[in-house]
């Protein structure tokens, strides 16, 4: 792989990991469209690490506060305090445990159906069809008139955290956008346009970190890889990912989130057309 292809794939990964248009669908489509060879596990890991860096940079302060709150709650539980009191002593502790709760569905389903999901990722037809479904989800929630006014704001509850976590598990299907599914679920359940994306991206941190760690253990060929494409792809993914997170927040505040659905439909139909008339 040369440096130009690495930069393009890094840009695609960084943007589509957070913009609700499905990174998996694009990483299936673009190499097929330009007849590029598969990037390989090492490069895929570099891209995931880049998007993880984007999240850590954007939410660094939040992460530090939540980790400290999580540690304090564990310490109190270990010293004999009732777990309900330890978990709910502050908003930060509550949110830290809700992120953990929301992470569980994807972890359980991912481990249980790993081989099935991997087979689906080899099927461009599945990615195209699910991308159309992503568009429907985004258009529906983006077009709703209820905006979660200040006097009707719904906090993240254990029930909401779990159902948003189920949406994240659903997004393991190729063509289902992780950010699109989780933000749509949050908005549908009543979260406002600031809380829904924030909780979605906080959920992405353990998910992407876990996926990256799982890939690292299989990188026996890493010593034989050219490092420059890996470095370029990871850096481009990190920078573009950070900008994509900003774009998602702004699109929600300006009520333009639903227009990402049009792009999903366009790309999904394009993929279907290529498959049918190939």
Q: Are 180 and 20 in contact (CB under 8 A)?
A: yes
Q: What distance lies between CA 192 and its chain's CA centroid?
A: 19
Q: Name the nearest CA neighbour of 180 among 62, 68, 25.
A: 25
Round to whole Å and give the CA distance between 200 and 196: 6
Q: What confidence score (pLDDT) does residue 234 get?
A: 93
* Residue ranges covered by each domain of the chain: 3-59+103-276
Rounded Cα distance between 156 and 137, Å, is 20
Are 77 and 83 in contact, with CB atoms under 8 Å apart? Answer: yes
Residue 151 confidence class, pLDDT cut points 50, 70, 90: very low
pTM: 0.89
Taking only the tens place, the pLDDT of each residue in 16-56 is: 999 999 887 887 777 777 777 766 667 888 888 999 999 99
Question: For 108-122, what is each residue's pLDDT tens digit?
Answer: 998 888 778 777 777
Distance between CA atoms of 112 and 134, rounded to whole angstroms? 23
């Amino acid at each position: 792989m040369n440096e130009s292809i690495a930069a393009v794939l890094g840009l695609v990964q960084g943007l589509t990991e957070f913009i609700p248009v499905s990174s998996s669908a694009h990483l299936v489509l673009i190499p097929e469209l330009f007849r590029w060879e598969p990037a390989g596990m090492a490069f895929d890991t570099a891209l995931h690490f880049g998007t993880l860096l984007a999240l850590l940079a954007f939410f660094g302060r939040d992460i530090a506060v939540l980790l400290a709150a999580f540690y304090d709650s564990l310490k109190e539980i270990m010293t004999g305090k009732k777990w309900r009191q330890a978990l709910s002593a502050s908003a930060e502790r509550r949110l830290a445990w809700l992120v953990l709760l929301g992470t569980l569905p994807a972890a359980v389903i991912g481990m249980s159906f790993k081989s099935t999901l991997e087979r689906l990722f080899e099927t461009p037809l599945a990615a195209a069809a699910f991308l159309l479904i992503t568009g429907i989800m985004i258009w529906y929630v983006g077009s709703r008139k209820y905006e979660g006014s200040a006097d009707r704001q719904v906090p993240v509850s254990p029930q909401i955290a779990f159902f948003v976590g189920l949406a994240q598990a659903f997004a393991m299907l190729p063509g289902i956008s992780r950010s699109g599914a989780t933000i749509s679920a949050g908005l549908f359940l009543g979260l406002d346009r600031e809380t829904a994306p924030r909780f979605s991206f906080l959920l992405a941190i353990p998910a992407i970190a876990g996926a990256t760690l799982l890939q690292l253990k299989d990188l026996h060929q890493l010593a034989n890889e050219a490092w420059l494409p890996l470095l370029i792809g990871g850096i481009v993914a990190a920078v573009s990912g950070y900008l994509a997170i900003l774009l998602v927040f702004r699109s929600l505040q300006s009520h333009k989130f639903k227009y990402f659905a049009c792009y999903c439909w366009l790309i999904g139909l394009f993929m279907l057309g290529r498959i049918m008339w190939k």
